[in-house]
Amino acid sequence: MDRIKVVRWVVGFIALGIAVMGILFYKSILSYLLIAGIIAYLISPIINYAQKFHIPRALSILIVYIIIIVLIIILINVIIPQIKIQAEEASKFFKQIVKDPEAFSLKSFGLDGVSKFIDRIQTRFTFINVDEYTQMLGEKFVGVINAIPQILINSLSGIINFLAFLIVIPFVCFFLLKDERQLMKTFFGWVPNRYFEFSIYLFEKIEDSFGRYLRSILLETIIITILSYIGLLILGIPYALTLSIIIGMTNPIKFFGPFIGFVPVILVVLFSPLPDIMVIYAILMSIIVQQIDSNILFPSLVGKGLGMHPLWVLLTVIAGGYAFGVLGLILAVPAVFLIKTVVQVSATSLKQFEII
Amino acid sequence: MKLKEFFAPKKEKVDEEKDLIRFLSEVELFENLTRNERRNLSQHLYERIYKEDDIVFKKGYPNVVMYIVKEGELQTFLDSTEGESLKTIKPADFFGEVGLFLEEERTATIVSSKDSILLGISKRDMNRFIDEYPRAGSKILRKLATVLCTHLIRTNGTLGAKRDELIDIKKHLEDCESQLQKLSDSQEVDKEKS
């Protein structure tokens, strides 16, 4: 009896060790797997729909891939030139400032009082040179701006990672999609009989709430992007496409997203030759889009919503931002929602299945 | 390795799948389905192995999965597993179909009486399959209705038989009662006489 127990412990320990080593070994690609999983999950309804018409899964996946690649190429051809123009204009703007040798000198603003004040300080405390400090700060700022291309080149490893990402993810995605049912069979095959029905129940409940949420966020993003693009085009604000993509991408961030996404719009309006009153119109447009989103899109796509108190959502977004930066802002609410769903479903059904 | 080999599934897997598809044609519920429909359905089936005396599910559990018996034998119990088995489930039979239509809990306990292999399909997958392949779905539903009607007729039959039995018992009891009454009456008369 005791010997069996010891053997069990040893076997369990070895299994745990192998699992930990496996996780450590595959650690660097776990994020790829996660992202590929999410993408596969978002695409899978299309593939399943195509299967209805006897189209082989592999073929329909390839078709979807080709469509996505074409879309990306179109987007790149439209966006990159715009971004290039924008970047050139921005650099012109900064160069103009830097041409002036005393650009960052407080004296250059031509304010008599300030200049006299600085002179007075410098005669009293000869070791303080206020002007030098401000000029130094300004030069540092310009230095950072000028260094951006260098930073991009220096992060070559980042680019290589990105390339690996671009190659690996479609591959992983392909097999996840093609063998979707096989993978699910294997996964649920590991579950002991006692927990089989519970695991299926839990999986389906999560898919019904969280999965629906995930899929509808994607649709929401696309629709919001298109709506804001139309709005910006009507207002005649430049870089409408880039700006609307930013608005769409930040939209999933609860509460703060619309504001963050709208900052670039205000900046563009203020820096462009457009009259400043356009800012008000742009804000009005944003409010209209937001109202369409929260009153029509979200209820019809996500349904009854997250079931989380607004205060809780707000705190989750802030905490996510503190802990994981921009990614945290976007992912905190879905992650917490997922955990909440698991806990909620388990709490009711574990008893029904007599597991606890 | 050629690209085709890389994408093609392994031979054992293919044989397994063929076996499964062949087996499905023996199941009453799926006997009208075409080969292709059966293959699509088989994608959703989870194979589960139960040892003797394993409990598949108990009365009161949520309705999640419907099972088809591939091999082995199972017993149905209404209340506890100690009572008499209500029905023996044999290969190619299925159970848990009530869950497809009703949100109610399991109405019986199922225990395997021999080592068994079951094919489980989740209620949601089954409903989705019926929605996605309406032609196959209507065949399954019609077959299911036939099976359920047969069950109903059989149950009505047994219920009728039981009712007749009950009526007989009731008559018998009434006879007994009247005889007892007569007996006690005669005893009273005897007492008064004495």
Q: DSSP per residue over B91-110, as a string?
A: TT-EE-GGGGT--PBP-SEE
pLDDT of residue A4: 85
Domains of chain A: which residue ranges?
Answer: 199-356
Which contacts of A178-187 are long-range, i.e. CB under 8 A and separated by 24 or more positions?
A: A178/A57, A178/A58, A178/A61, A180/A40, A180/A44, A180/A47, A180/A57, A181/B43, A181/B44, A185/B46, A185/B47
pLDDT of residue A155: 59
With a cut of 90, say whether residue A50 has pLDDT above it: no
ipTM above 0.85, yes or no: no
pLDDT of residue A258: 83
pLDDT of residue B177: 93
Cβ–Cβ under 8 Å, residues B59 and B79:
yes
Give the nearest chain B residue to A353 (CA atoms). B61
With a cut of 60, say whether residue A270 has pLDDT above it: yes
B143 — contact with chain A (CB < 8 Å)? no
Cβ–Cβ under 8 Å, residues A29 and A168:
yes
Among A34-48, A226-240, A303-317, B125-139, whose mean pLDDT is lowest? Answer: A303-317
Cβ–Cβ under 8 Å, residues B9 and A56:
no
**Interatomic CA distance for residues B163 and A30, integer angstroms:** 66
With a cut of 70, say whether residue A1 has pLDDT above it: no
Domains of chain B: which residue ranges?
Answer: 8-135
Interface size A-B, in CB pairs within 8 Å, comes to: 46
Among A66-80, A181-195, B56-70, B160-174, whose mean pLDDT is lowest? Answer: A66-80
Q: What's the distance, Cα to Cα, between the start and end of chain A in Å? A: 27
Is B122–A204 a contact, with Cβ atoms under 8 angstroms apart?
yes
Cβ–Cβ under 8 Å, residues A153 and A13:
no
pLDDT, chain A, mean: 80
pTM of the model: 0.74
**Interatomic CA distance for residues B139 and B142, integer angstroms:** 5
pLDDT of residue A256: 82
Is A193–B61 a contact, with Cβ atoms under 8 angstroms apart?
no
Q: Which of B54, B64, B133 sits opposite A52 (nearest CB)?
A: B133
B179 or A261: which leads in pLDDT: B179
pLDDT of residue A203: 92
Q: What is the mean pLDDT of residues B130-156?
A: 90
Is B132–A52 a contact, with Cβ atoms under 8 angstroms apart?
yes
Give the nearest chain A residue to B39 (CA atoms). A54
Nearest Cα of chain A lies from the Cα of B46 at a distance, in angstroms, of 6
Nearest Cα of chain A lies from the Cα of B45 at a distance, in angstroms, of 8
Q: Which residues in chain A have Cβ-Cβ distances shorter than 8 Å to B133?
A: 52
In Å, what is the CA distance from B9 to each residue of A180, B21, B25? 14, 16, 23
* A→B interface, C-beta within 8 Å: 48, 51-52, 54, 58, 181, 185, 188-189, 193, 196-197, 200-201, 204, 349, 352-354
In what side-by-side order are the strands of the sheet with B94-95?
Answer: B46-50, B116-122, B65-71, B94-95
Is A52–B7 a contact, with Cβ atoms under 8 angstroms apart?
no
With a cut of 70, say whether residue A148 has pLDDT above it: no
pLDDT, chain B, mean: 87
Neighbours of A313 (CB within 10 A): 18
**Interatomic CA distance for residues B122 and B97, integer angstroms:** 10
pLDDT of residue A105: 52
Q: What is the mean pLDDT of residues B18-42?
A: 89
Among A110-119, A131-140, A191-200, B79-88, whose mean pLDDT is lowest? Answer: A110-119
Which residue in this structure is represented by tokens 């179909």? Answer: B97
Nearest in space to A342 (alpha carbons), one of A211, A219, A222: A211
Give the nearest chain A residue to B50 (CA atoms). A193
pLDDT of residue A111: 53
Q: What is the pLDDT of residues A149-192, one digit of tens each?
A: 666 555 566 666 777 777 888 888 999 998 888 899 999 999 99
Nearest Cα of chain B lies from the Cα of A178 at a distance, in angstroms, of 10
pLDDT of residue B8: 62
Give the nearest chain B residue to A49 (CA atoms). B132
Interface of B with A in 78-117 (CB under 8 A): 105
Q: B8-135, which class in CATH?
A: mainly beta
pLDDT of residue A93: 60
Residue of A191, A193, A202 to mutate, interface with B, max B Cβ within 10 Å: A193
Cα B151 to chain centroid distance, Å, stands at 10
pLDDT of residue A129: 65
B8 — contact with chain A (CB < 8 Å)? no
Cβ–Cβ under 8 Å, residues B94 and B143:
no
Q: What is the pLDDT of residues A11-28, one digit of tens each?
A: 999 999 999 999 888 887
Q: Which of A51, A54, A197 sits opposite B57 (nearest CB)?
A: A197
Nearest Cα of chain A lies from the Cα of B47 at a distance, in angstroms, of 7
Q: How many CA atoms are closer than 13 Å to the CA of B168, on its beta-carbon side?
A: 6
Q: Which residues in chain A have Cβ-Cβ distances shorter than 8 Å to B56?
A: 193
Let me know how long chain A is.
356
Q: Which residues in chain A have Cβ-Cβ distances shorter than 8 Å to B124?
A: 204
